[in-house]
Amino acid sequence: MVDRPRPDQFLEVARELRAAAEETRRTLQASRDLVRRSREQAAGPPASGSDPGPSQQLVTSLIDAYEAAEGEPDLQTRLLLGHVLHHVGRRIAGVMGPRAVGIAVH
Protein backbone atom coordinates (compact mmCIF):
# COMPACT_ATOMS: atom_id res chain seq x y z
CA MET A 1 0.00 0.00 0.00
CA VAL A 2 1.32 3.46 -0.96
CA ASP A 3 1.37 6.19 1.67
CA ARG A 4 -0.50 9.23 0.48
CA PRO A 5 0.74 12.65 1.54
CA ARG A 6 -1.47 14.44 3.99
CA PRO A 7 -2.96 17.86 3.18
CA ASP A 8 -0.79 19.52 5.85
CA GLN A 9 2.30 18.21 4.04
CA PHE A 10 1.07 19.88 0.86
CA LEU A 11 0.63 23.14 2.73
CA GLU A 12 4.13 22.92 4.15
CA VAL A 13 5.63 22.28 0.72
CA ALA A 14 3.63 25.20 -0.69
CA ARG A 15 4.95 27.49 2.05
CA GLU A 16 8.52 26.40 1.36
CA LEU A 17 8.06 26.98 -2.38
CA ARG A 18 6.57 30.42 -1.74
CA ALA A 19 9.50 31.34 0.53
CA ALA A 20 11.98 30.14 -2.08
CA ALA A 21 10.20 32.13 -4.79
CA GLU A 22 10.24 35.28 -2.64
CA GLU A 23 13.95 34.88 -1.92
CA THR A 24 14.61 34.43 -5.64
CA ARG A 25 12.58 37.57 -6.39
CA ARG A 26 14.60 39.60 -3.87
CA THR A 27 17.88 38.29 -5.27
CA LEU A 28 16.85 39.15 -8.83
CA GLN A 29 15.80 42.66 -7.77
CA ALA A 30 19.13 43.20 -6.01
CA SER A 31 20.95 42.00 -9.15
CA ARG A 32 18.93 44.38 -11.33
CA ASP A 33 19.74 47.26 -8.99
CA LEU A 34 23.46 46.44 -9.15
CA VAL A 35 23.40 46.30 -12.95
CA ARG A 36 21.52 49.62 -13.13
CA ARG A 37 24.00 51.34 -10.79
CA SER A 38 26.94 49.88 -12.70
CA ARG A 39 25.55 51.21 -15.98
CA GLU A 40 24.98 54.63 -14.46
CA GLN A 41 28.54 54.76 -13.16
CA ALA A 42 29.98 53.55 -16.46
CA ALA A 43 28.00 56.19 -18.33
CA GLY A 44 29.82 58.89 -16.38
CA PRO A 45 28.38 62.12 -15.09
CA PRO A 46 24.91 63.24 -16.13
CA ALA A 47 24.46 65.27 -19.29
CA SER A 48 26.47 68.45 -19.47
CA GLY A 49 24.83 71.46 -17.94
CA SER A 50 23.40 69.63 -14.96
CA ASP A 51 26.34 70.67 -12.75
CA PRO A 52 28.94 72.92 -14.28
CA GLY A 53 31.10 72.50 -11.20
CA PRO A 54 32.22 75.12 -8.73
CA SER A 55 33.71 78.39 -9.94
CA GLN A 56 37.44 78.96 -9.73
CA GLN A 57 36.79 81.89 -7.39
CA LEU A 58 34.83 79.67 -5.00
CA VAL A 59 37.54 77.01 -4.96
CA THR A 60 40.31 79.54 -4.39
CA SER A 61 38.35 81.31 -1.65
CA LEU A 62 37.65 78.04 0.16
CA ILE A 63 41.28 77.00 0.03
CA ASP A 64 42.32 80.41 1.38
CA ALA A 65 39.72 80.18 4.16
CA TYR A 66 40.83 76.66 5.06
CA GLU A 67 44.48 77.69 5.23
CA ALA A 68 43.59 80.78 7.31
CA ALA A 69 41.64 78.60 9.75
CA GLU A 70 44.69 76.43 10.48
CA GLY A 71 45.82 79.02 13.01
CA GLU A 72 42.39 79.34 14.63
CA PRO A 73 41.76 77.67 17.98
CA ASP A 74 38.19 76.67 16.98
CA LEU A 75 38.34 73.06 15.80
CA GLN A 76 34.73 73.15 14.58
CA THR A 77 35.55 75.90 12.07
CA ARG A 78 38.43 73.91 10.62
CA LEU A 79 36.31 70.76 10.41
CA LEU A 80 33.45 72.58 8.68
CA LEU A 81 35.77 74.16 6.13
CA GLY A 82 37.40 70.78 5.52
CA HIS A 83 33.97 69.22 4.98
CA VAL A 84 33.03 71.95 2.51
CA LEU A 85 36.30 71.49 0.61
CA HIS A 86 35.66 67.76 0.45
CA HIS A 87 32.18 68.37 -0.97
CA VAL A 88 33.47 70.83 -3.56
CA GLY A 89 36.25 68.40 -4.50
CA ARG A 90 33.66 65.69 -5.12
CA ARG A 91 31.74 68.07 -7.39
CA ILE A 92 34.92 68.81 -9.34
CA ALA A 93 35.65 65.09 -9.65
CA GLY A 94 32.09 64.44 -10.83
CA VAL A 95 32.37 67.04 -13.56
CA MET A 96 35.82 65.97 -14.72
CA GLY A 97 35.33 62.23 -14.44
CA PRO A 98 37.97 59.61 -13.64
CA ARG A 99 39.48 59.39 -17.13
CA ALA A 100 40.29 63.12 -17.19
CA VAL A 101 42.55 62.76 -14.16
CA GLY A 102 44.20 59.54 -15.30
CA ILE A 103 42.30 56.97 -13.25
CA ALA A 104 41.84 53.69 -15.09
CA VAL A 105 38.21 52.69 -15.43
CA HIS A 106 37.40 49.10 -16.22
Q: Alpha-carbon torsion 30, 36, 39, 40, what sign?
A: negative
Range of the domain at 14: 1-44
Q: Within this chain, do residues 69 and 100 fall inside the same structural domain, yes or no?
A: yes
Q: Within this chain, do residues 29 and 68 fall inside the same structural domain, yes or no?
A: no
Q: Within this chain, do residues 24 and 62 fall inside the same structural domain, yes or no?
A: no
- If one counts the domains in the chain, the total is 2
Q: What does the alpha-carbon distance between residue 22 and residue 24 come to, in Å, rounded to a whole number?
A: 5
- pTM score, two decimals? 0.46
pLDDT in tens, 2-58: 566 687 888 999 999 999 999 998 998 888 888 888 877 776 655 555 677 888 898
Give the Å distances, CA to CA, from 53 to 11, 32, 45, 65, 94.
60, 31, 11, 19, 8
